[in-house]
Structures are given as C-alpha cells and as structure tokens.
Chains A and B, each alone.
Chain A
Amino acid sequence: MSTLEIRNLHATVESDGEPREILRGVDLTVASGQTHAVMGPNGSGKSTLAYVIAGHPKYTVTEGSITLDGADVLDMSVDERARAGLFLAMQYPVEVPGVSVSNFLRTSVTAVRGEAPKLRLWIKEMKDAMSALQIDPSFAERSINEGFSGGEKKRHEILQLELLKPRIAVLDETDSGLDVDALKIVAEGVNRFQADGTTGTLLITHYTRILRYIHPDFVHVFVDGRIVESGGPELAQRLEDEGYERFVKAGSAA
C-alpha cells in the first residue's frame, strides 16, 4: 500500500525575473488502488502540479509538503523520486537524440529496480510490453521521442509506465492529441498498470473523453492553482455538460 499526500502546496515559477505563484494551496491524497482525475481549464496549473511532484528544477515550492508513504518527496532529487516510486508521463515528452529507446529503457529499469535485468528476459519483457501497446519493434532502435508522432510519444510514455511499475503514476494529458484507436490502446495500458490494486494513478486531463475508458474513483476540478471541488465520477459528467465556466467564476471570486 502506498499513499501520496499533497498538503497546502504552493509553488512559483520565475517569469520575467519575478517569482509568479502558480500553485496556490493544493491538497490531494492518492492511495494505491485509487484513480484520481484532475480536470481543469488550460493554464490553471495542472502541468505545474505534475512537474512539482516530479521535481522539475524550474519550479520552487514556497509552502506545503509532498510525502510518499511518509517520506519527504520535496527533499529528494528528481531521480530519487523516480526510484522511490513516482512516475510522470509528460504532456510534452522530451526528445533525446542519439539515445536509443532500448538503451534508455534498460538503463532506467536498472536504476529503478536496483539491478540490471538479465538480457534475455529483459528483451522478452520489453517486446511483450511494446506489442501490448502496438508499438513497432523498430522503435527500440530509434532515438527517444525523436521524430515520433504525438500518439507515438504518448504510447512510449505508457510503455515506460508499465515497465517501471511505479507506486504512484501522474499522467499529464496523456489523452491529448490521440485519435480514438490510440486513446483506447493507451487507456488499456493504464488499466493494466492499475489492475492489481497496488498502485495509484493521478490522471490529469482537460477533456472527459478518456474517462470513458479509464474510470476514476475521484474527480477534482482544478482552477487557478488549486482544487475547487471534489467528487465522484458524476462530477466528470457535470463538467462534460456544463463546462468549466461555473468553476472559473467561483475560482476567481475566491
């Protein structure tokens, strides 16, 4: 059992030489077996929340805490967080020229698991994981994300999710830019990851359509750097019908 606890989280980013507050008091708890959907308008700070959890150096936490099973996440370097069991599927995965997907995956799996997998077993494991996501085997030889289509990048993120098997996964707009087929493939991957109840998922999205394939236990509306309302799956339906407008007004009035 694992629990990610975010308490009163405030974070700033340097903008025109001035610190600008983007996260303004986020409270959220994600435990194993749970899927949380965080939904909000563009620019509300969803990606910032994801990056701050992962430890991106551009953001400064000014107040609050993040713990994973009681351990202080904010005290860990980016790679320590990943090895502690946190994973971020990025909205815009980064290209790394010259580093092959296969080399990258094996190096990261070795770092996270603490020992290098046996080559023969590893190759089978990777091939199986790629084929489940309908990723062509030739991707193993290609440079990380270089020349990948939007959909290919997102499938590659989920491939890493399945191979690294973190305790808590943060998926930042993994649905954006996917056609229906790719959306289903990606959602199946997330559902496989979440299936045995030992892991938790924080699913960040702007649209409700991915929630047809991934069923959240909790839905949070995120506006202007904080969660303004939380509920069950029915809240997603209301957002689908009414949009964010009501919350945006409420958020700015607060």
Chain B
Amino acid sequence: MSVTIPASDHSPTVRSRAVADHPVPSGREEEWRFTPLDRLRGLHTGSLDLSGSVGLAIESEGFVAETVTVDDPRVGATLVPTDIVAAQALTGSAGAVVLSLAAEAMGRARVVMTGQGVPAASHLVIEFAPFSKGTVVIEHRGSAVLAGNIEIRLGDGAQATVISHQAWDRDAVHVGTHAAHLGRDARLLMAHVTLGGDLVRLSPLVSYAAPGGEAELLGLYFADSGQHLEHRVFVDHDTPHCSSSVLYKGALQGEGAHTVWIGDVLVRAQAVGIDTYEVNRNLILTDGARADSVPNLELETGEIQGAGHASATGRFDDEQLFYLQARGIPEDLARVLVVRGFFADILGRLGEPELSRSVMSDVDARLGVDVEGLGVDDGEADDEVAR
C-alpha cells in the first residue's frame, strides 16, 4: 500500500510558532487521516489548557541541563512547528529544557518525564556541539495528555544517540514532533520505542545542514488491543552526500490494535550523491489488529548513491513455530521467542541492556508467559559460549 504525495505537500504550508496560524485538523487531511481525533482529548484543537506539568528528572554525565524561556534563541531554531500540536507544545510550555554537550565532550543523559494525569506541554532541546559524542534516553512514564517537542542539533562531526521510550500508562495520549538537524559529517541514531499509551503519534523529522551527515532511525512498537501507535518519519534530503537509513518494526495483537507507519523520504534536486533506505515490518499476532504502512520515496534527482524502501506485514510463520515446538518448546513460549527475535536486531543496534530487558519483559507479559526458569537467556550466556 503506497500513496504518493506531490512534492509540494512535503513542505508544509504553515511553519509558525503561533498556534493561531495553524488550522485545526478535521481528520480529512492526508497527515491526519489515520489518527482518531476523537481520542486526542482535545490536543489538536489549539484550545486545550496545557499548563499542567509533567514530572521531569534528569540524570546526566557530561551534559549541562538548563531551563530557559521559549524566547531563548536555541528554542525553535531547528523545530519550527508545522502543526498545531507542535505549536502548542512550544508556546504552551512554561519553559524549555536545554541539554547540551560541549565540543569534543562525551556524555550520557537519562530524562524521565512522568505524566501527572493532566494535559501538559513540553519542549526539549538537545545540542551536541562539534565532535562531541553522547547518548540521551528519554523515558515517558505515567499518564498524561502530552504535546511534546524534542529538537536535536548535531554540530560538525558529532555522534549522537537519542532514544525516546514511550512507556506510558495505558490511558496516556502523546503527540510529538522530534526534529533533528545534522552538521557536516555528523552521525545521529534516533530511536522510538513505543509500547505504552492509548494514542501515541510521533513525527520524527531529519534534515541536514551540510554534506556528510548520516542519520539512522530505528523504531520498535507493540500495539495491544485498542492502542493506536503512529510514527510518521520525514527525512528531508536537501543536502548532497548525506545518508539516511530507517527501520521500524512493530507487533500487534488484539481487537482494535492499530499501528501506522509513514516513511516519507524526499530527495531534493540538489541532494546529489545521497544514499537512503527505509524499511517497515509488522508482525500481526492475532485477528482484529491493523497495521498501516506507507513508504513514500520521492526522487527529484537521479544522481544518487542509492535509494530504496520496503514494507512487509505478516503473520506468525507456522514453520518457525513448528521448528521450535518440535524441540519441546511449548507453543506460547515459542511465540515469545519469535517476537523477541523479531525485535532483537533493533534492540541489539541500540545497545541499551536495561531498555532491552524492559522491552523483552513487556513482550513476555503481553504474550502471557513468565520466562523465569525456562532457560531463556538475555544474551549473556551467548557471549560466554562464544568466548
């Protein structure tokens, strides 16, 4: 299933901080047609009071954390709101948080945003100065109706990993724009791990300031009965000799589980020599779940290294289950192994053991199996044998 949108639609007609400049979505717009607006609790109307707060806890090594007013020049420099929710996230927040890593420094930060059960706005800026190297993990917990922006800037030669983990309570609503801008030869790994929430709609955006930028976007989501989890990637190749690689994987189960993945990659005429590949894979575990997957690659120049996309949505492979069961593994545990295996490449690439364990135990719980004592290991035994 692929919908080709004319190039002009990629450049949003409205780019503004002012909420009033943005139309209120009706649900008929291309970019809103998959989202159940009636479950947004008014987040898209521009009139919801977002003055409630989210708990914010930051642990960091190497990063400097500051709270600034939204008039600070670092706020909104990369992320200019292109929809009404992003505009509200910016103007509705009491202040923005800026996390910055100094030039050539190394750092690591963990940001825990805990919803307090009320509508709230947040705007987080993460700056990696030239040749710095760092990782930021943002965890979303509790319950909230959150308009949340994250803007990420990489200076020349910076290497950054930014992981947004949606571990919300079941009733949370979260709409966010995550915009990244890469300097010369900078490398970004941006990931979305979305398991919780009632409705989560995230829009990762990538653009490049200079040649040599490399962006890798990874996503992992698991929608249970009634959950709506939507990821809308837009990579804007407007600069020569940059690359993008996108891989999102989702599992779905239960009546009304719905996931949406949009992968828009635009290669503008000037973006010669770029390389891009995007993939979305969905594993549907039961009847009643629906995965929408819309890769959309648009080339305005043919002078590129490579460009491609792939999308596949499938069910459990009976042959895999048979093979595992034929070795004595009960069917429910075999399913756990297959789903864990489906996500293993993403988690391995992220290299965050604590996150992996949390995702794996969530998978186990959703499939109704406690693997304790069943011989399933978390990868440590593998290493020992290989040694």
Interface residues of A (CB under 8 A from B): 54-57, 77-79, 81-83, 87-88, 90, 93-100, 102-104, 106-112, 115-117, 119, 122-123, 126-127, 130, 137-138, 140-141, 143-144, 160, 164
Which of the segments B45-53, B70-78, B328-336 contacts the partner chain?
B328-336
Contact A138 B340 (CB under 8 A): no
Set of chain A residues within 8 Å of B384, measured between Cβ atoms:
119, 123
**How distant is the Cα of A107 from the Cα of B340 in the complex, in angstroms?**
13
Contact A103 B377 (CB under 8 A): yes
Set of chain A residues within 8 Å of B345, measured between Cβ atoms:
97-98
Contact B326 A106 (CB under 8 A): no
Set of chain A residues within 8 Å of B330, measured between Cβ atoms:
79, 111
**How distant is the Cα of A83 from the Cα of B331 in the complex, in angstroms?**
13
B373's nearest neighbour on chain A, judged by CB, is A116
Contact B375 A109 (CB under 8 A): yes
Contact B340 A98 (CB under 8 A): yes
Contact B376 A103 (CB under 8 A): yes
Contacting residues of chain B (356-387) with chain A, CB-CB under 8 angstroms: 373-377, 379, 381-387
Contacting residues of chain B (321-349) with chain A, CB-CB under 8 angstroms: 322-331, 333-334, 337-338, 340-345
- The yes or no answer to B354 lying at the interface (CB within 8 A) is no
Taking the closest CB of chain A, its distance from the CB of B219, in whole angstroms, is 16
- The yes or no answer to B38 lying at the interface (CB within 8 A) is no
Taking the closest CB of chain A, its distance from the CB of B128, in whole angstroms, is 31
Contact A100 B327 (CB under 8 A): no
Which of B325, B327, B333, B386 is A138 in contact with, Cβ under 8 Å? Answer: B386
- The yes or no answer to B318 lying at the interface (CB within 8 A) is yes
- Tell me whether A77 and B325 are in contact in the complex, defined as CB-CB below 8 angstroms, given that A102-B382, A106-B375, A140-B386 are known contacts: yes
**Residue picked from B322, B327, B345, most chain A C-beta under 10 Å:** B327
**How distant is the Cα of A100 from the Cα of B331 in the complex, in angstroms?**
18
Contact A100 B340 (CB under 8 A): no
- The yes or no answer to B301 lying at the interface (CB within 8 A) is no
- The yes or no answer to B270 lying at the interface (CB within 8 A) is no
Set of chain A residues within 8 Å of B328, measured between Cβ atoms:
79, 82-83, 108, 111-112, 164
Contact A99 B338 (CB under 8 A): yes
Contact A110 B385 (CB under 8 A): no
Which of A57, A79, A97, A119 is B342 in contact with, Cβ under 8 Å? Answer: A97
6 pairs of A and B residues whose beta carbons are closest in the complex: A98-B341, A110-B375, A98-B344, A108-B327, A82-B328, A111-B328
**Residue picked from B318, B319, B343, B387, most chain A C-beta under 10 Å:** B319
Chosen A-B contacts, 14 in total, with CB atoms closer than 8 Å, are A79-B328, A79-B334, A82-B325, A82-B329, A87-B326, A94-B323, A95-B320, A98-B340, A98-B343, A108-B329, A111-B330, A116-B374, A123-B381, A137-B385
Contact B374 A99 (CB under 8 A): no
Set of chain B residues within 8 Å of A100, measured between Cβ atoms:
379, 382
**How distant is the Cα of A200 from the Cα of B92 in the complex, in angstroms?**
74
Set of chain A residues within 8 Å of B376, measured between Cβ atoms:
103, 106-107
Taking the closest CB of chain A, its distance from the CB of B58, in whole angstroms, is 33
**How distant is the Cα of A228 from the Cα of B327 in the complex, in angstroms?**
31
**How distant is the Cα of A160 from the Cα of B343 in the complex, in angstroms?**
25
Contact A112 B382 (CB under 8 A): no
**How distant is the Cα of A143 from the Cα of B320 in the complex, in angstroms?**
12
Count residues of chain B with CB under 8 A from any CB of chain A: 37
**How distant is the Cα of A83 from the Cα of B330 in the complex, in angstroms?**
10
**Residue picked from A79, A111, A112, most chain B C-beta under 10 Å:** A79
Contact B322 A99 (CB under 8 A): no
Taking the closest CB of chain B, its distance from the CB of A174, in whole angstroms, is 15
**How distant is the Cα of A78 from the Cα of B331 in the complex, in angstroms?**
9
**How distant is the Cα of A90 from the Cα of B323 in the complex, in angstroms?**
9
Contact A103 B381 (CB under 8 A): yes
Contact A126 B385 (CB under 8 A): yes
- Tell me whether A96 and B337 are in contact in the complex, defined as CB-CB below 8 angstroms, given that A82-B326, A107-B329 are known contacts: yes
Set of chain A residues within 8 Å of B344, measured between Cβ atoms:
97-99, 143
Set of chain A residues within 8 Å of B331, measured between Cβ atoms:
77-79
Taking the closest CB of chain A, its distance from the CB of B220, in whole angstroms, is 12
Taking the closest CB of chain A, its distance from the CB of B137, in whole angstroms, is 22
**How distant is the Cα of A97 from the Cα of B381 in the complex, in angstroms?**
18
**How distant is the Cα of A111 from the Cα of B278 in the complex, in angstroms?**
39
- Tell me whether A103 and B382 are in contact in the complex, defined as CB-CB below 8 angstroms, given that A97-B342, A98-B340 are known contacts: yes
Taking the closest CB of chain A, its distance from the CB of B114, in whole angstroms, is 32
Set of chain B residues within 8 Å of A81, measured between Cβ atoms:
326
A108's nearest neighbour on chain B, judged by CB, is B327
Taking the closest CB of chain B, its distance from the CB of A90, in whole angstroms, is 7
Contact with A along B273-307 (1 / 0, CB 8 A): 00000000000000000000000000000000000
Contact A102 B385 (CB under 8 A): yes
Contact A96 B386 (CB under 8 A): no
Which of B322, B327, B334, B377 is A160 in contact with, Cβ under 8 Å? Answer: B327
**How distant is the Cα of A230 from the Cα of B383 in the complex, in angstroms?**
48
- Tell me whether A98 and B342 are in contact in the complex, defined as CB-CB below 8 angstroms, given that A116-B374, A123-B384 are known contacts: yes
Set of chain B residues within 8 Å of A96, measured between Cβ atoms:
320, 323-324, 337-338, 341
Taking the closest CB of chain B, its distance from the CB of A85, in whole angstroms, is 10
- Tell me whether A78 and B341 are in contact in the complex, defined as CB-CB below 8 angstroms, given that A106-B375, A107-B375 are known contacts: no
